[in-house]
């Protein structure tokens, strides 16, 4: 089976600073892969390389066996950035309609997908409000709705549940599981260890390096530890 995402010996420099160092990983079709690590570890930089917003200084990224960046493959990727990229002077519905139109969805399909996306993030009753009146958590939820609007094959979500209440966070993860069962590939970044436990496989990043990877159970067995947080510390050389 061809992996959905391949990161092969990728490094990224900004001037003299090396933000990523020889990172290699594969994300298989129909799995939830978690990238975990502290702020500044390189997670967001790696995500931007995968969606083609930037190019690596060395190595290559393939999505669906296509070298990135590639405009045609973007139709098949749903991306939620860490910073909300929304039009605040438009309503929630107008934002969703605009992004749906970018993916050339037919009118009937747009209506269906907007209703689905709004329901997913519990915003159905808020779509007529301008986004400038939304709370921070509501903006995060609308950003997630935008990411799923075109029914993409691959979802790449950068800290999707930051600022979202625990009950809605549970329902979002339930939907991510449903999407996975439908064959979608999901890559999610997080620094929350209980979310890491929900992933099929993990890649742990520290200081721009992939320090270990595997399923939560494999990683805990490998290091003889019951906590993913302790695995992260031990794998990074800071544990006892």
Identify the CATH number of the domain in which residue 97 sits. 3.40.50.300
Q: Are strands 201-206 and 209-214 parallel, antiparallel or unpaired?
A: antiparallel
CB 125 within 8 A of CB 110: no
Classify residue 74: in a domain, yes or no: yes
Classify residue 240: in a domain, yes or no: no
Give 97's contacts (C-beta < 8 A, 6+ positions apart). 110, 114
Number of structural domains the chain divides into: 1
Structure confidence at residue 240 (pLDDT): 36
Instruction: Write the pLDDT tens digit of every residue in 179-221.
Output: 999 999 999 998 888 899 999 999 999 999 999 999 999 999 9
Classify residue 229: in a domain, yes or no: yes
CB 205 within 8 A of CB 42: yes
Q: How many CA atoms lie within 13 A of 7 on its CB side?
A: 28
Classify residue 68: in a domain, yes or no: yes
Classify residue 153: in a domain, yes or no: yes
Q: Report the DSSP beta bridge partners of residue 10.
A: 23
Q: Which domain range does residue 134 map to?
A: 5-235
Classify residue 71: in a domain, yes or no: yes
Q: Is residue 95 over pLDDT 90? A: yes
Angle value at C-alpha 201, between 197 and 204, nearest 5 degrees: 80
Classify residue 15: in a domain, yes or no: yes
Average pLDDT over residues 120-149: 93
Whether the upstream peptide bond of residue 69 has omega within 30° of 0, thus cis, is yes
Give the helix/strand (H/E) hosting 108: helix 107-120
Q: Is residue 238 over pLDDT 60? A: no
Classify residue 126: in a domain, yes or no: yes
Q: Is residue 237 over pLDDT 70? A: no
Cα–Cα distance between 109 and 24 in angstroms, integer?
37
Residue 160: DSSP 8-state: T
Cα–Cα distance between 51 and 179 in angstroms, integer?
19
């Amino acid at each position: 089976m061809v992996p959905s995402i391949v990161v092969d010996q990728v490094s990224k420099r900004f001037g003299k600073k090396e933000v990523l160092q020889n990172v290699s990983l594969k994300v298989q079709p129909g799995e939830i892969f978690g990238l975990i690590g502290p702020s500044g570890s390189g997670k967001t930089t790696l995500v931007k390389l995968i969606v083609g917003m930037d190019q690596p200084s060395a190595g290559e990224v393939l999505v669906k066996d296509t070298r990135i960046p590639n405009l045609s493959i973007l139709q098949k990727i749903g991306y939620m950035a860490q910073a909300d990229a929304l039009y605040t002077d438009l309503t929630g519905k107008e934002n969703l309609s605009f992004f749906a139109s970018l993916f050339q969805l037919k009118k009937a399909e747009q209506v269906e997908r907007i209703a689905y996306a709004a329901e997913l993030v519990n915003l159905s009753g808020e779509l007529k409000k301008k986004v400038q009146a939304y709370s921070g958590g509501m903006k995060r939820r609308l950003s997630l709705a935008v990411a799923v609007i075109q029914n993409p094959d691959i979802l790449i979500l950068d800290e999707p549940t930051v600022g979202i209440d625990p009950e809605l966070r549970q329902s979002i993860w339930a939907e991510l599981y449903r999407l996975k069962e439908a064959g979608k590939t999901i890559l999610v970044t997080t620094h929350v260890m209980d979310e890491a436990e929900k992933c099929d496989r993990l890649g742990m990043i520290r200081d721009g390096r992939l320090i270990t990877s595997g399923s939560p159970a494999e990683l805990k067995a490998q290091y003889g530890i019951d906590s993913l947080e302790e695995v992260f510390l031990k794998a990074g050389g800071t544990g006892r």
